Amino acid sequence: MCQSVCNFSVLRGRKKYKFLLIFFKVVSFTINRGSLINYHRILNDLFEEELMRNDKIRTIIFSSLHTMYILTYGYFALATTLLLLYFAPSYLLIIRGLLHFHLSTNYTLPISRGYGHFWTVPDNFLYHLHLVFETTLTGLSGLMACSVDSFFGFYVYQFTSTMRAMNFRLTNPLPTEKFLDLLRMCVAKHQRLLRCRDTLEHVYGPIVFWHIVTNAILLCGLMYDAMPVCEYINVKVDI
């Protein structure tokens, strides 16, 4: 009984942090929408300006693009695969029941496990609606995580590529360019990049901090769930 209460608390905590994380990201991007639009315009203009210089600078800029592609698509593929594997057993049982002309509810809800809600999940057609609701919610959560994290990686790629292009132009100036004029222009661009950096820290700083805190709490919850705490307490009391 005590272990069931522990599992119930941990599951409700996982759902709560997942909902709060989605809500926190949506609210953060909504509040900072104007700053992000301005940030995107400034950084995109600087990036395209350096991109149109010459072939050498384009080669430098695109040198790390392949790595960015691998990380983004790999993250999306991994998240999609994990979600499909997580929800596959429930849907396979439904398909198996339909093949036998029987809509079975003899499966476990992937997220709540049947007792993670504040209400009792009925053993009828509403049970399937709970499955659809949990699938949709988890899919949106994964999509939100992939999009927000991928945007961060893309912005960092644009930022670092622009800095590398400016560094190359300073160390390898063209014969027609004056070094002082080139240095003055790069300093002005660097100041604009610093403002972009501040905007990125302002938007993604709380999100990263929230990830660290919630992951630490969930890790503690998983460790607590894995340990037979209640049995250990009973043994100590008997002694």
CA distance 195 to 147: 23
Query: What is the domain partition of the chain in residue ranges?
Result: 2-238
Q: Kindly provide the residue ranges of all beta strands, DSSP E only, lying in 84-184, ordered along the sequence.
A: none
Rg of the chain on CA atoms, in Å? 26
How many C-beta atoms lie closer than 10 Å to residue 204's C-beta? 20
The reported pTM is 0.71
pLDDT in the model for residue 17: 59
Question: Could you read off the pLDDT of 158-195 as tens digits, one per residue?
Answer: 888 888 888 888 888 777 778 888 888 888 888 888 88
Q: Quote the pLDDT of residue 116.
A: 54
> How many CB atoms lie under 10 A from the CB of residue 169?
21
Q: Are 15 and 112 in contact (CB under 8 A)?
A: yes
Q: Enumerate residues 6+ apart whose C-beta is below 8 A from 182.
A: 169, 170, 173
What residues have CB less than 8 Å from 110, skipping those under 6 apart?
86, 87, 89, 90, 131, 134, 135, 138
Question: DSSP string spanning 33-45?
Answer: HHHHHHHHHHHHH
pLDDT, one tens digit per residue, over 97-113 is: 777 777 766 777 776 66
Query: Which of the four pLDDT bands, split at 50, 70 and 90, describes residue 39?
Result: confident
